[in-house]
Each structure stands twice: as C-alpha cells, then as structure tokens.
Structure 1
C-alpha cells in the first residue's frame, strides 16, 4: 500500500510547475496561500482589474484544498441554530444564502472556464444511520420555505435500493449540489489567473510580513512582494507566520483513502453516482470515482499527528461495517491534509486592519465557503460591497491553543460515543 497523493497526481490534468519568487515584485494585492480561498480571491481580483500575486509554499492545491472529498454543497461546519444564536436570525438566513451562492459560483466557474477535468457530477445524498424520517421531512420543508431550495426525501426502501447497507435509513438528496475533482478545479483557476495577468509563485514560503504603513512587504527566502493589500488564506498551514491568525484556529487533520480498481465489487454495494455523507458529526463521506472503477472514502479527524496506517485501518473498519460485501476491496492509497477550524466552527473572513485581510478556517466545508469567502473579500478590496461584514460575529477568537486541541479531540470522542449510542437505540 502507498500513501502519497498518487491518485490525484495520476489524475491531475495540468502538470505545470511554477517558478519560485526571486527578486522584488510590486502589485496591488498579494495573497499568501495557493489553495481554494487564495485562488478564488486572486481570480476575482484579477477579473476586477487588479495586479495580483499569489505566494504558495508548496504547489497549487497542496494539502486538503486540492485533495479533499470534492463535495460542493451549501452550509457551514456548524448548524443554522448556532449561527442564528450568535448572529441573529436575519444574518443567519443571509449567511446561508451566501453558502448557496458559493456553491453556484463553483459550478458557474467550471462552466465558464470549461473545466471538463473537474468532472462535476450532480447529486449529494445525506443519509441517516437511524430511523427519523420526520426530522428530514421537516428540514426539507424549512429549506423550501426559507430559501426556495428543494431537497428530495428518500424513504428507507429508496435508500437501500441504491446503498446496499442495513446501516442506512432515510435520506435527503440535494439535486443542486455536486461533487468534483478539486485539484483539477484549482489548477484551472491558477491558469485563468495567469491568463488575466496574475503572478503565481510556488515553493515560495513566506518568512516575514511587514504590515505597517500603506505599502505592505511580504518576504520569502528568495524575494519580496510589495503591495497595498495583503490577504492571508493559509488555513491549517499558517504556522507561526502571523500570531493572531495562528491563535484563532485549530489545525485538524483529515484522512481519505482510495480503493483498488474493482468496478463490479464497488457496484455491488453502491448503485448511485451521488456523493454520500452520513449524519454523524464526523461521519463517513464517500463517492465512486475514476469512472466507477474505484471508491474514495473519507472520514476521521485528529488534532495531532496520527499514523496514516492506523487511520486507514479505522476507515476500512467503517467501510466494511457499513458494507460487509466490500471486505475484499483493497485500499490502494491514502493521504491526509490539514484543515483549520475556529472555535465557533464558522469561516473567519474579513479585514484585520487597513490593507490586511484574512479568509480562512473553513472547517471541512470548504468547497462552497472558500468560494464565497474569496468572492466577498475581493468585493471588499475592490470597493464593490461590504458583504464580508456578515462574517464579523465570527471573528478571530482565540481557539485555546494546546488546551483547545485537547478539548476538540475530547469533544470528537464524545460525539462518536453519542453517535454510537443513538444508532444502537434506534
């Protein structure tokens, strides 16, 4: 078994290797981080006529940004009731509408740029692991009433006709949501930014930032970028670059594995092209990839370094526990990446000081929220809107440091135990 990013490397359509920063560069805005948030911000600024530069420590789409499950659906890592408690009902409604807009932005960008290698596929099904069809019907009605957003209710027989598992009961299917190849999407964004005149530098880790004064300076080992505006989009890889940002999120590792090529065996368990996620707080998510030949399966989070071998064994146990018929399906490769979670489980999006912006902490729901985050930050920088202020109630609050990581891990274990008891009581 191998554990590099072999699957995404093998299926990556654009193999461009970009040069590292050397010397001095002047631009309007410099963006630190070449992941989903950074590239979306850069794209919108370049479309708005700005001269932009992106500094990426590794390569475009490195880590969780380019190698995640590929789910694109509305919502945030925390629930609507908690958002309303903190920000108010009206703001909660507007924030959810922004999350829908973020999903639509990704789809529209794929269409506008003809990113065929992103392989967008409509349909995400969210399934229960215990009987509670009434709650799903109520949620579907709420989405229809508040947002004119249709979700299809599936009863137990309908679910089990396509997901051959006794673990599953009722589900909601989102026809507007979709799944895709995230790395190919990101690589295409980078190409478009460069077509519009933007500069992208890989292997260019930022070592120092000077943010005082009208002109900001961002330094790497090989050069320096000077700009009026700096945007931090570094997520779980911020490190010690900016103390306030580092203290405001927890770096959380997530794990994904891909099976061997076995289309008939995969089809014996999963007879749908939808991406699937269950209702547990840190549940399984998976989808059939490679033209139906393989199964991509994700789940499990850790707040500290963990053995990939051990986590793969846990993921496999989940997969086989859900689908015993897949016990013979071998895991070909696996990998992990860092996400960033804020204590309030909402994205951290806004302006820190004049000319200094941040767009980070997407907490496992990044393919729609990075899109809308990058869009509203770009609007703010360009003076087009102040929609970024909707995220002000969810600011850069201290995440608790090492104690916060310990609490997060204990909370995760507690939620796992609650999920276990709830399933067995059903």
Structure 2
C-alpha cells in the first residue's frame, strides 16, 4: 500500500495520520466556470460541494494544499455556538435574530455529522461529547444556563457536579461542567480531504499550489489570476482565513490573524487514562483557557491553548503548553511531547463570522477563529445557497460585516485583551483555593 502523501503540510498529528494520497494539479491556462472559489479550507470546500450538487461548474483555488491552514490543524472540536456568547450577539442584533443565528450554528454541527455519515468518512474518526468545564463555582449560573439552552434549543446537555467532573477528568482544578452530548470531535484534515474528493467527484475542478495573485471583479465576468492561469467566472467566493493575502484589500483589513498552539503527547495509555477517563473532549471555560482530548483510542493527548498576535512560531510551543497541561494534571509531568505546532486563525473584532456579498457577484465567507468547525460548515452552505439564488439566509450575518480590524492598534488591543483574560482567570481561580 502506498503511504499517503503529506508533502506540503506542516508536521502535526493530522499530517501523521493522513489516510489519503491524492494530489490536485496547479491551475494553468485559461479556465472558465460559473463560480471560482478562492480558499481550500472547510468553508470553501463545503461551498464547492454544495454548488456542484446544485449543478454549477466550480473552480476552487488553494494556495498550498487542501486544508493546509487552520482547517486542517485545529483542535477538531465540533459544537454549537460562536466565538462570542449568545448574550453578546443578542445585544448586537436582538434576541430573535440571535436565536436564529444560534440555530444556524447547531445546523452546522449537523451538516458535518451528515457529511461524515452519508459520505462514509470513517477516517474522520468522530467521537461524541465535549464538556465545558469551570475552574470556579458559578453559584448556579452554569446549571441555569444549560437548562435554558435545553429549553430554548432542545440541546442535549448534562450538568456535572464537582465529583462527577473529577470522576471523568482527574484534576483538582475543575469545579463543575456541562457535557454537550450533541457535540463531537474528529480528524479535520481527513474530513476536509474527503470533502474535496466528493466535490471533485461531483464535477468541481480543484487546484492546489495555485495562489490567487490578482483579481478583476467589476465586470460581469470576474477574472482571478494565478501565476500560471486566468480563471473567468460569473461569481467569485473568497473563503480564506488567517492566511488571507492582499488580493482584496477590504478582506485583508477586516480580520486579525491570531495564532493558537497545539501539542501531541507521546503514547502512554496508562498515564493518559489516569488523568482523562473519558473519550469526551474538554473545553476549559477560561477566556484564556485550554481545549484538549484523547486521541489514538486513549493512548495520547492532543492539547491546545494560548493565543498570540505574533505570526511566527515561538520556539517553546511545547514547553508553554506542557506547563499548562501539568498545572491542570500534575500526574502528567512525566508525559513527553512528540510535536507541537501552531496555526493562524482569522478573527473579526466582533468575534462573529464574516459572511456576505462584497459587491454583485463577489462573496466572502471568513473569520471563523475560535469556533470554526460548525461555523465553516453553515457558512459555506448558506453562502452557496445565496450564490445559487436558493436562499438569502446569509443575510442573518449582515450586521457583522467587514469592519476594520484596527491595524497595528487592533493587534495590540487583541493581545492586551487576552492578557487581561489571563489575569481575570487567575484571580477567579485564586478565590477557589
């Protein structure tokens, strides 16, 4: 059996466990299509598949490899919600529209689950359950909010008291949690590559190593150029993220590139299971917190956390995250790290996805940082519906447009905000001692 091709991907757990070997060609020459999609992450792939199924001819351009960026190197968490909370969304658009947006986020989870089931993507390795855990006593607020979500949205949530939490996550830090049994975690790179295969099967033309270098967007026929090709299309969708270039300045100015970090431990099943006694993943409720899960049937831990506005990788990724891991689970101090990596996410200042129409025939679907899996799925779906004239559900995101990211001051503010979250977390946890 030929080993899967991992050429072009950075070293991550997901690259090491690829299950497919197909490569896609570079775009060359003059290519015509109904729709050109720029960006081969989960949003672009979801849109490409949807549009191909609707009978549109689609060309998808990816600068590197399919899901090379955040789509293929994240924590692999799929749960309802956005990077900002429901109350914050309601303050911006009102309660009714906030609830509609939240239901869309739930639909995003089901879209991904349906893709996995209907396309038989076993290599995505989905595992049910994500727990939201607190390091402080909420005074009944967590239980009340989970009960409200059950009433309002029919979510399958189970409140866990301290003893129940610690029976699953053997850490002295956690005080209470809510287990979302509708959520799941999975292998995002294998999933993304399966979407690409299906989109190609449905007629989409996918090109890797084909960065868009210029765009002419004002005419009836849009022109996107790469170094070796010119694509003409009636409509264009920009579905790039943290690695967005300067082809469309309005998109470049509208997001903040934020780095997050992930590590993979060595194989040590006894040590791992002494700490984490469930396959359900965990999302630390701290605003400056961690997210982690067991992989390889409980033999290793995949641990993510920390964010910075720096673009380059710090040399001590593994050391920083291992310190967080051992602070949470002192018994894991002997556990060694095999590899650490980072990736750039795109965040809008309002912390919501940016989904809409820039001008006639020119669409965007981006800024999924902080809660990207379900939102890329619903974003790619509803933007495809809009491009095909099937629905205008994308308009629900109109209040969260392409607001300026603040430039250098915006990056500084984002970093200062994160440090403030860390300080608040530390103070709140100190009160539990």
The interval holding the TM-score normalised by the smaller chain is: over 0.9
Look up the SS of the partner of 1:173 in the other structure. Answer: strand
Query: Are the equivalent residues in 1 in contact too, given 2:313–2:342 (CA < 8 A)?
Result: no
Q: What does residue range 30-109 of structure 1 map to in structure 2 within 5 Å?
A: 30-109=36-115
1:307 Cα deviation after fit: 4.1
Q: Please tell me whether residue 199 in structure 1 is matched to residue 205 in structure 2.
A: yes
Residues in 1 aligned to 2:409 and 2:129: alpha-carbon distance in whole angstroms: 39
Q: 173, 180, 196: which one pairs with 1:174? A: 180
**What TM-score does the superposition give when structure 2 sets the normalisation length?**
0.96
Q: Deviations over 1:281-318 (max 9, x none)?
A: 13100000112111000001110135433232121111
Residues in 2 aligned to 1:377 and 1:239: alpha-carbon distance in whole angstroms: 21
Query: Are the equivalent residues in 2 in contact too, given 1:248–1:397 (CA < 8 A)?
Result: yes
1:345 Cα deviation after fit: 0.3
Residues in 2 aligned to 1:420 and 1:157: alpha-carbon distance in whole angstroms: 22
Match of 1:327 in 2: 333
1:133 Cα deviation after fit: 5.4
Query: Are the equivalent residues in 2 in contact too, given 1:123–1:176 (CA < 8 A)?
Result: yes
Q: Please tell me whether residue 380 in structure 1 is matched to residue 404 in structure 2.
A: no
Q: Deviations over 1:182-215 (max 9, x none)?
A: 0000000000001001000000011001001110
Query: Are the equivalent residues in 2 in contact too, given 1:117–1:185 (CA < 8 A)?
Result: yes
Q: Name stretches of at least 5 consecutive residues in structure 2 with no aligned partner.
A: 1-8
Residues in 2 aligned to 1:369 and 1:126: alpha-carbon distance in whole angstroms: 18
Residues in 1 aligned to 2:10 and 2:73: alpha-carbon distance in whole angstroms: 11
Residues in 2 aligned to 1:380 and 1:353: alpha-carbon distance in whole angstroms: 13
Residues in 1 aligned to 2:50 and 2:182: alpha-carbon distance in whole angstroms: 23
Say how many residue pairs are matched. Answer: 424
Query: Are the equivalent residues in 1 in contact too, given 2:317–2:340 (CA < 8 A)?
Result: no
Q: 3, 8, 27: which one pairs with 2:14? A: 8
Match of 1:270 in 2: 276
Residues in 2 aligned to 1:91 and 1:7: alpha-carbon distance in whole angstroms: 38
After TM superposition, which residue ranges in structure 1, 4 or more long, deviate above 4 angstroms?
Answer: none
Q: Deviations over 1:355-407 (max 9, x none)?
A: 00000001221100000000000110111110000000000000101110000
Match of 1:404 in 2: 410
Query: Are the equivalent residues in 2 in contact too, given 1:133–1:170 (CA < 8 A)?
Result: no
Residues in 2 aligned to 1:13 and 1:282: alpha-carbon distance in whole angstroms: 33
Q: Please tell me whether residue 285 in structure 1 is matched to residue 298 in structure 2.
A: no
Say which is worse superposed, 131-140 or 74-83, in terms of deviation: 131-140
Residues in 1 aligned to 2:106 and 2:159: alpha-carbon distance in whole angstroms: 19
Match of 1:224 in 2: 230
Q: 354, 370, 374: which one pairs with 1:368? A: 374
Look up the SS of the partner of 2:131 in the other structure. Answer: strand
Match of 2:196 in 1: 190
Residues in 2 aligned to 1:305 and 1:397: alpha-carbon distance in whole angstroms: 21
Look up the SS of the partner of 1:235 in the other structure. Answer: coil
Residues in 2 aligned to 1:166 and 1:223: alpha-carbon distance in whole angstroms: 58
Q: Are residues 235 and 261 of structure 1, via their aligned partners in 2, closer, same or farther at CA, if it must alter by over 3 Å? A: same
Alignment RMSD: 1.1
Query: Are the equivalent residues in 1 in contact too, given 2:257–2:311 (CA < 8 A)?
Result: no
Match of 1:246 in 2: 252
Residues in 1 aligned to 2:27 and 2:177: alpha-carbon distance in whole angstroms: 49
Residues in 2 aligned to 1:159 and 1:59: alpha-carbon distance in whole angstroms: 40
1:258 Cα deviation after fit: 0.2
Residues in 2 aligned to 1:115 and 1:148: alpha-carbon distance in whole angstroms: 27
